[in-house]
Chain A
Amino acid sequence: MNFSPTKEQLMVRKMIKQFAHNEMKPIAQLTDEEARYPQETIDKLGKLGVMGMPMPKEYGGAESDYVAYAGAIEELSKVCSSTGLIVQTHVALCCWPILTFGTQEQKRKYLPDLVAGRKLGAFALTEANAGTDAAGLQTKAVDMGDHWVLNGTKAFLSAAGIADVYIVMAMTDKSKGTKGISAFIIEKGTPGFNRGKKEDKMGIRGSLMAEQIIKDCIIPKENLLGEVGKGFKVAMASLDVGRLGVACQALGIAQGAFDETVKYMKSRKQFGKSLDKFQALAFEMADMKTRLDCTRLLILNAADRRDKGLPCTTETAEAKLYASETAVYVTNKAVQFHGGYGYTKDYPVERMMRDAKITEIYEGTSEVMRMVISGDIFR
């Protein structure tokens, strides 16, 4: 593993940092307050090639490495983690499965627009009664000879109604359990495929999440993604990429809150001196910094293994587990060290603390990460 970033990795980070500072920072608070989807930011990121950066050149990507991608998601999330999530869901849970499991026709049909950011992707696995136990999903897909008919309701779908291309997991043969699940591509606007109730969330309020109702939805035969009965594999493999993104999102939130706190501590005076002069607080900052760097190394390891084509499910789960718990810990302390001001919306740490929590929940909860890691220990 190379601990020194490459030229490209440094440049990607620099470019995203500039972009986030100029284009995202001014609207980050409003994005949260009004739960406003940052469409203009996503359009701009599309033009800059961020929406499909690790995808192959033949589909318009830059074939960037995942270490650089990780840096990009972190830098976006430092300033606005809703944006970080939108980008990472699109890349990891829509572009990636189409690239990895799609037919030539599917890749040619969907990837160029997705990679250029002209179209947005989503991933529908969770249902009301199938969260952690995703294999218990009840959405059904029936083979009608020359087409499929889908019925069911997806819950907690990020970008529901906004996204153009959806990867939808449905049961094709209930008797086979996880081996009875298949993955499908459904396009926005398909009759019988509609957004339901929007959820009002604690954090990442700029990223919309809603129910998606699938009723007698007819889709063409060729929209099956991968083989019949291999949908669970599609979902789990995609979530490995997604968890890397969530880890980076968590690191970004934590680093963002940490940086704000350093700045604040230097300026806020009590008892005649600035807060950074209180060793009790400074020592805690040292612990936070150490955890941030640990997180960064775990992410680097997971991303580097992905770049090298090595197995990385466990390493990615470790990165996500540690990053998300670090984000919750650091943002909590960040608010603490801001005192009452940190509890107000005048300072971004309030938003960051709310944003951090989700990273312990989606794309597999911390408990699930521990299942993955312990499962590997006691294999």
Chain B
Amino acid sequence: MKIIVCAKQVPDTTEVKIDKVKNTLIRDSAPSIMNYEDENALEEALRIKEQFPDSYITVISMGPPQAKDMLEECIAQGADEAILISDRELVGSDTWATSNVLAAGIRKLSGFDLILTGRQAIDGDTAQVGPQLAEKLGIPQVTYVKEVTVNDNEIIAKRTLENGYETLKLKTPCLLTVTRELNQPRYMTIKGIYNVKNQEIKVWNIKDINVDLTEVGLDASPTKVVESFVPTSKGKGTVIEADSAKEKVAILLEKLKEKHI
């Protein structure tokens, strides 16, 4: 099975600074990590590979040159190949432009059976790139997947809903966006780490992929960020301390009464 994992390098904090002009995040202001749910996507790919050992995992990312570090970690965890699409022209791309780039990158590869992406990136929280990518590639998709079963060329995906889940069966090729519940990502292995030097991370620029220049980058992005800000927290929760549950409940009721709730 040929699996493609889409991964994004994101700043590791909610307190990152924001560029006042471009209204985008200043990446250097916080350490960079792999987006959490993308780790789950990679983990699922690695598990499928354990089940079907002749699988081949390609991790693809659009991002600045330093996103190579993240891709090297993917190799150290067991991915077979990693590609970084990086070009100054791509800076400021919104989800629509990003999915154009990823779709172009994926079309350049020699086919695939399954694409796994995280549900959303912690810096943007849009949850749009996965679904857009599936649309642009013309393949079926299931979002918010929390459980995956693979049988030959059929995939069974459990999808989280507000009040339960839904089980869907689909044929490959297809795309799944996954949630944190799906699995527990593994660590890099020492051998994997020392294997990185034998596994060159491919870096593609805009000329390497067949993409229309008017469909990528900040200017081409239909999303215009009006303002970015760090939300102020709306007061703190209180922890009720008491010896027994009974006393705690009594205190709670008292407090609720005070507030006329």
Q: Indicate with 1 or 0, residue by residue over A1-35, a CB within 8 angstroms of chain B CB atoms.
A: 00000011001101100110000000000000000
Contact of A62 among B72, B73, B187, B191 (CB under 8 A): B191
B196 adjacent to A11 (CB under 8 Å): yes
A7 adjacent to B196 (CB under 8 Å): yes
Contacts of A8 in B (CB 8 A): 193-194, 196-197
B189 on the A face (CB < 8 A): yes
In the complex, number of A-B residue pairs with CB atoms less than 8 Å apart:
45
Can you show 18 pairs from A to B with CB atoms below 8 A apart?
Answer: A7-B197, A11-B72, A11-B196, A12-B190, A15-B76, A15-B193, A18-B187, A19-B187, A47-B189, A48-B187, A48-B188, A48-B189, A49-B190, A49-B191, A53-B190, A62-B190, A62-B193, A62-B194
Contacts of B187 in A (CB 8 A): 15, 18-19, 48
How far does the alpha carbon of A12 sit from the alpha carbon of B190 in the complex, in Å?
Answer: 7
The residue among B72, B73, B76, B187 with the most chain A CB atoms within 10 A of its own CB is B187
Contacts of B192 in A (CB 8 A): 49
Contact of A50 among B72, B73, B190 (CB under 8 A): B190
How far does the alpha carbon of A179 sit from the alpha carbon of B194 in the complex, in Å?
Answer: 40
Could you tell me which B residues sit within 8 Å of A by CB distance? 72-73, 76, 187-194, 196-197
Q: How distant is B25 from chain A, measured CB to nearest CB, in Å? A: 22
A63 on the B face (CB < 8 A): yes
Contact of B72 among A7, A12, A49, A63 (CB under 8 A): A7
With A11-B72, A11-B76 already in contact, the answer to whether A64 and B194 are too (CB < 8 A) is yes
Contacts of B72 in A (CB 8 A): 7, 11
Contact of A63 among B73, B189, B194 (CB under 8 A): B194
Contact residues of B: prevailing secondary structure: helix
Contact of B193 among A11, A18, A19, A47 (CB under 8 A): A11
Contacts of B191 in A (CB 8 A): 49, 62
Q: How distant is B42 from chain A, measured CB to nearest CB, in Å? A: 15
Could you tell me which A residues sit within 8 Å of B by CB distance? 7-8, 11-12, 14-15, 18-19, 47-50, 53, 62-64
How far does the alpha carbon of A47 sit from the alpha carbon of B190 in the complex, in Å?
Answer: 10
Contacts of A15 in B (CB 8 A): 76, 187-190, 193
How far does the alpha carbon of A365 sit from the alpha carbon of B185 in the complex, in Å?
Answer: 42
- The residue of chain A having its C-beta at the shortest distance from the C-beta of B68 within the complex is A7
Q: How distant is A50 from chain B, measured CB to nearest CB, in Å? A: 6
B189 adjacent to A49 (CB under 8 Å): yes
Contacts of A49 in B (CB 8 A): 189-192
20 more contacts with CB within 8 A, not counting A48-B188, A64-B190, are A7-B196, A7-B197, A8-B197, A11-B72, A12-B190, A12-B193, A14-B188, A15-B76, A15-B189, A15-B193, A18-B187, A19-B187, A48-B190, A49-B192, A50-B190, A62-B189, A62-B190, A62-B191, A62-B193, A62-B194
- The residue of chain B having its C-beta at the shortest distance from the C-beta of A8 within the complex is B193
How far does the alpha carbon of A48 sit from the alpha carbon of B196 in the complex, in Å?
Answer: 15
How far does the alpha carbon of A63 sit from the alpha carbon of B188 in the complex, in Å?
Answer: 16
- The residue of chain B having its C-beta at the shortest distance from the C-beta of A11 within the complex is B193
The residue among B189, B190, B191, B197 with the most chain A CB atoms within 10 A of its own CB is B190
How far does the alpha carbon of A47 sit from the alpha carbon of B192 in the complex, in Å?
Answer: 12
A11 adjacent to B73 (CB under 8 Å): yes
How far does the alpha carbon of A48 sit from the alpha carbon of B76 in the complex, in Å?
Answer: 11
How far does the alpha carbon of A63 sit from the alpha carbon of B194 in the complex, in Å?
Answer: 8
Contacts of A62 in B (CB 8 A): 189-191, 193-194
Contacts of B193 in A (CB 8 A): 8, 11-12, 15, 62, 64
- The residue of chain B having its C-beta at the shortest distance from the C-beta of A48 within the complex is B189
How far does the alpha carbon of A64 sit from the alpha carbon of B197 in the complex, in Å?
Answer: 12
- The residue of chain B having its C-beta at the shortest distance from the C-beta of A44 within the complex is B187
How far does the alpha carbon of A11 sit from the alpha carbon of B187 in the complex, in Å?
Answer: 11
Contacts of A12 in B (CB 8 A): 190, 193
- The residue of chain B having its C-beta at the shortest distance from the C-beta of A19 within the complex is B187
Contacts of A11 in B (CB 8 A): 72-73, 76, 188, 193, 196
Contacts of A50 in B (CB 8 A): 190
- The residue of chain B having its C-beta at the shortest distance from the C-beta of A63 within the complex is B194
Contacts of B194 in A (CB 8 A): 8, 62-64
- The residue of chain A having its C-beta at the shortest distance from the C-beta of B195 within the complex is A62
Contacts of B73 in A (CB 8 A): 11, 14
Q: How distant is B88 from chain A, measured CB to nearest CB, in Å? A: 25
The 5 closest A-B pairs by CB, nearest first: A49-B190, A62-B190, A62-B194, A15-B188, A62-B191
Q: How distant is A352 from chain B, measured CB to nearest CB, in Å? A: 25
How far does the alpha carbon of A264 sit from the alpha carbon of B84 in the complex, in Å?
Answer: 42
Contacts of A14 in B (CB 8 A): 73, 188
- The residue of chain B having its C-beta at the shortest distance from the C-beta of A6 within the complex is B197
Q: How distant is B225 from chain A, measured CB to nearest CB, in Å? A: 32
Q: How distant is A342 from chain B, measured CB to nearest CB, in Å? A: 25
How far does the alpha carbon of A37 sit from the alpha carbon of B196 in the complex, in Å?
Answer: 34
How far does the alpha carbon of A18 sit from the alpha carbon of B76 in the complex, in Å?
Answer: 14
How far does the alpha carbon of A12 sit from the alpha carbon of B76 in the complex, in Å?
Answer: 10
Contacts of B189 in A (CB 8 A): 15, 47-49, 62
How far does the alpha carbon of A8 sit from the alpha carbon of B197 in the complex, in Å?
Answer: 9
How far does the alpha carbon of A48 sit from the alpha carbon of B187 in the complex, in Å?
Answer: 8
How far does the alpha carbon of A11 sit from the alpha carbon of B191 in the complex, in Å?
Answer: 11
How far does the alpha carbon of A11 sit from the alpha carbon of B72 in the complex, in Å?
Answer: 9
Contacts of B190 in A (CB 8 A): 12, 15, 48-50, 53, 62, 64
How far does the alpha carbon of A302 sit from the alpha carbon of B192 in the complex, in Å?
Answer: 26
Q: How distant is B75 from chain A, measured CB to nearest CB, in Å? A: 10
- The residue of chain B having its C-beta at the shortest distance from the C-beta of A10 within the complex is B69
How far does the alpha carbon of A18 sit from the alpha carbon of B197 in the complex, in Å?
Answer: 22
Contacts of B197 in A (CB 8 A): 7-8
The residue among B189, B191, B192 with the most chain A CB atoms within 10 A of its own CB is B191
How far does the alpha carbon of A8 sit from the alpha carbon of B187 in the complex, in Å?
Answer: 14
- The residue of chain A having its C-beta at the shortest distance from the C-beta of B77 within the complex is A15
How far does the alpha carbon of A166 sit from the alpha carbon of B250 in the complex, in Å?
Answer: 62
How far does the alpha carbon of A14 sit from the alpha carbon of B193 in the complex, in Å?
Answer: 11
